Amino acid sequence: MRWERFPAFLPLVLKSKLTYRVAGLALRYLGGRMSPYQLAAVKGVMSELGDAYSGRKPVIFTSAFVPTEIVYGLGAVPYLPEMWSGFAAAFGVSVRGIDESEAKGYSQDLCSFHRCHLGLEELSLLPKPSAIIVSSHLCDGGRRSLYAHSVSTGCPFYVVDVPYLMTDSSVRWLSCQVERICEDISRRVPGLSLDGMARAIENSNRARKIYLDVCQLRRNKPAPWSGSEALNYVFAFLSGWGSEWLVDFYANLGKTLKQRIEQSNYPVPQERLRLLWLNLKPYYGSPLFQYLAQWGVSVAFEEYSYVYWPEMHERRWAEGVATKMLSNFGWGPIERRLDAVWNMVNDYGVDGVVQFDQWGCRQSNGGARVLADFLREKGIPFLELDGDGVDPRNSSVAQALTRLQAFIEVMDARG
């Protein structure tokens, strides 16, 4: 039965080796039009996509906050389905994905990022995973939706059960889990081993060091990098740790931002106000950020670009990965998130904070009241902006713009 027009050739295109050869050639000739950091990211992602869809390398699906260092360390390609829901929205196929998942019985009250990738699987748009690793921290929907993939693809499913607090016993238990899971995967999935762990941790530490310099540059006023673009590159922040390309990406990004500052070439040259953006954003064509720029407002930094973990020890990799997970400021008591937000407010000199309330994201939205009161006490305006990152049907642009504009007016009135 035909439902609506859908590019039926898309799965074939994604799985064809020719696609990646053509893309490689195109990048060689057209790459000059892109910034070096954009080129580094696109090359990295295209190469991994080619490996993943052609079956050259095993693919491991992970939920958003599983450190990808372990996947690169094993020699596999990490694939974060939630992130690909964002890409699907940008390419205009998210609605179709969401409809597919609803037809399978998934409720409209669930986060659309998860519903979308469940539907993308139905449309044969996801690669075939060799294993799936989820963590129990932060997001209920992430792990549950990935379990559904493991049932439909029949691949092994691993749960990293993350304790609530960072204590000696919790680090011990968690590192032991990480180690056992990685060992088991290396035994069960052909072509994978633990040999690359030290290298992946080394890459991660290098990228982290360079990235902290990038963060320093982003403190500049006016902001040298557009928040909307930075939110597009959240995929790199979530899925690139442990890879070679992330090092390259951040190094080039640093160079570009430095140049921009030197040449006073800013995305919002007449910057009046600076915002901190919490959670994600609409990944389909939405005019929100254009309007902000028009009003002289830049998004100086984003919650999901914040480095919250310490450097990792290359040989005690499991402990390093465990510590990274336990350091996540979205996990544990909410005071940790308040501290992180307050650090960002101060580091980036923002005038206000906007939390994008993604539909169904209970871990983030549930903290809004505490955040609002905390920031109000500190004299920082805070706005909760209801919306949906991948389903354009689930919110009203006019309503969002009215709220944003009123928020800017409030900040203006405060002088």
Q: Residue numbers of the site for other proteins (CB under 8 A)?
A: 1-4, 95, 99, 102-107, 109-111, 134, 136, 138-141, 143-145, 147-148, 151, 157, 159, 161, 163-165, 169-170, 173, 176-177, 333-334, 357, 359-360, 362-363, 365-370, 392-396, 398-399
* Closer to other proteins by Cβ: residue 98 or 344: 98
Smallest gap from residue 130 Cβ to other proteins (A) = 19
Q: Which is nearer to other proteins, 151 or 410 (CB)?
A: 151
Q: Which CB atom, from 43 or from 96, has the smaller least distance to other proteins?
A: 96
Judged by CB, which is closer to other proteins: 63, or 298? 63
Rg of the chain on CA atoms, in Å: 21
Cα-based distances in Å from 191 to 77, 124, 183, 292, 397: 12, 24, 13, 48, 48
CA dihedral 286, 291, 297, 303 (to 10 degrees): -10
CB of 289 to other proteins, least distance (A): 19
Whichever of 332 and 349 has its CB closer to other proteins, that residue is 332
**Least distance in Å: CB of 385 to other proteins?**
13
The single-letter code of the amino acid at 287 is: P
Question: Please, what is the minimum distance in Å from the beta carbon of residue 141 to other proteins?
Answer: 5
Strand pairing category for 131-135 and 77-79? unpaired
Q: Please answer whether residues 143 and 161 qualify as being in contact, where contact means their C-beta atoms are separated by less than 8 angstroms.
A: no
Using alpha carbons, list the distances in angstroms from residue 140 to 82, 224, 249, 279, 329: 13, 35, 31, 16, 16
CA 35 remoteness from chain centre = 21
State in angstroms the smallest separation of the CB of 98 from other proteins.
9
Q: Which lies closer to other proteins via its Cβ, residue 183 or residue 213? A: 183
Distance between CA 109 and CA 96 in Å, rounded?
A: 17
Answer whether 160's CB lies under 8 Å from 133's CB.
Answer: yes
Q: Which residues contact 324 (CB under 8 A, 6 or more apart)?
A: 67, 69, 309, 312
**Least distance between other proteins and beta carbon 170 (Å):** 7
Least distance in Å: CB of 57 to other proteins? 27
Closest CA to 331 of 163, 203, 200: 163
Write 167-175 long-range contacts (CB < 8 A, 24+): 170/326, 171/319, 171/322, 171/323, 171/326, 174/322, 174/325, 174/326, 175/316, 175/318, 175/319, 175/321, 175/322
Cβ 183 to other proteins shortest distance, Å:
14
Instruction: Output the six-digit token pair for 406.
Output: 């009123």
Q: How far apart are CA 49 and CA 342, in angstroms?
A: 37
Closer residue to other proteins, CB minimum distance, 243 or 394 = 394
Q: Classify strands 297-302 and 59-62 as parallel, antiparallel or unpaired.
A: unpaired
Cβ closer to other proteins: 38 or 394? 394
Pick between residue 40 and residue 146 the one whose CB is nearest to other proteins.
Answer: 146
- Beta-carbon neighbour count of residue 285 at 10 Å? 11
* Nearer residue to other proteins within complex by CB, 54 or 308: 308
Kindly state the smallest distance separating residue 159's Cβ from other proteins, in Å. Answer: 4
CA distance 223 to 215: 11
Residue closer to other proteins (CB basis): 333 or 415:
333
Minimum Å gap between C-beta 227 and other proteins is 24
CB of 103 to other proteins, least distance (A): 3
State the amino acid at position 95 in one-letter form.
V
